[in-house]
Structure 1
Amino acid sequence: MALATLGVVVLDCPEPRALADFYAEVLGGEVTSDDGTWVDLEVPGGRPLAFQAAPDFEPPAWPARDRPQQFHLDLTVEDLDTAEKGVLALGAKVLDAEDRSRTWRVYADPAGHPFCLCAC
């Protein structure tokens, strides 16, 4: 028997609404609340995400170990090239997408959190 269920994944960041808007565009979600320091994002067919203000936030230095990633999101897509164009237009940065033979590519969201686009 489980002791708990996963409620929400929370990402610390300097600008919660801006990061919520980024993921709303990427995942098709909708912001349901925003108090300036905490923003909730409902994601169709998945767990909600939340974004919490962290004024001293320092993004991971992937793949360096001095500021490790701690976690990342794997986002399933149908077409890697199309999804890549979309996330880059929204402000993502390429971290590791040179090997075009792989079924996944690594990016950083606008706050610097690593995430992967993974072909289904």
Structure 2
Amino acid sequence: MIGHLRTVVVDCPDPRALAGFYAELTGLTVAEDESDDGWVTLGGPPGRHPRIAFQHAPDLRPPAWPDPERPQQFHLDVQVDDIEVAERQVLALGARRLPGEGDDFRVYADPAGHPFCLVYQ
């Protein structure tokens, strides 16, 4: 092993808003809010647990699942106990359902257009 995962960084047009979405989705809390500098981080202190950071990208060209011309670039899998309840909750937060699902997952886009999956069973 060379190192430990520190932070997954997500480009987006509004770091504070997207961090709020993922805080509600995952239960993570805001660790750093430097939104004036274009950066908000969820999770614990650096080096102890992986974190998710949201970086200001004003000219972001969001992915268009499943279009290979605009690939997903990254995605998060979020484990849930009840897919129907979780789906209602993420849609209420501003997510939207995307095409594609399997026996144990459904695909969504966050408010900035990044795909993520709710995984169940």
Q: Same fold (TM over 0.5)?
A: yes
Distance 2:116 2:61 in 1: 16
SS at structure 1 position matched to 2:21 = helix
Q: CA RMSD, aligned part only?
A: 1.5
Distance 1:35 1:6 in 2: 21
- What is the aligned partner in structure 1 of residue 56 from structure 2? 53
- What is the aligned partner in structure 2 of residue 116 from structure 1? 117
- Provide TM-score, normalisation by structure 2: 0.89
Distance 2:62 2:30 in 1: 23
1:40 maps to 2:41: yes
Post-superposition Cα deviations, 1:88-108, rounded to whole Å, max 9, x if no partner, equal 0000010026x6x72110000
- Runs of 4+ more than 3 Å apart: none
Distance 1:78 1:27 in 2: 13
- What is the aligned partner in structure 1 of residue 27 from structure 2? 28
Distance 1:82 1:104 in 2: 14
Post-superposition Cα deviations, 1:35-92, rounded to whole Å, max 9, x if no partner, equal 120001017xx62110000011011011001111121111100010000000000000
> What is the aligned length?
115
Within 5 Å, give how 1:75-94 maps onto structure 2.
75-94=78-97
- The unaligned stretches of length 5 or more in structure 2 are none
What percentage of residue pairs aligned between the two structures are identical?
56
- Cα shift at 1:31: 0.8
SS at structure 2 position matched to 1:50 = strand
- The unaligned stretches of length 5 or more in structure 1 are none
- Provide TM-score, normalisation by structure 1: 0.90
Distance 2:3 2:25 in 1: 28
SS at structure 1 position matched to 2:62 = coil
Amino acid at match of 1:92: A
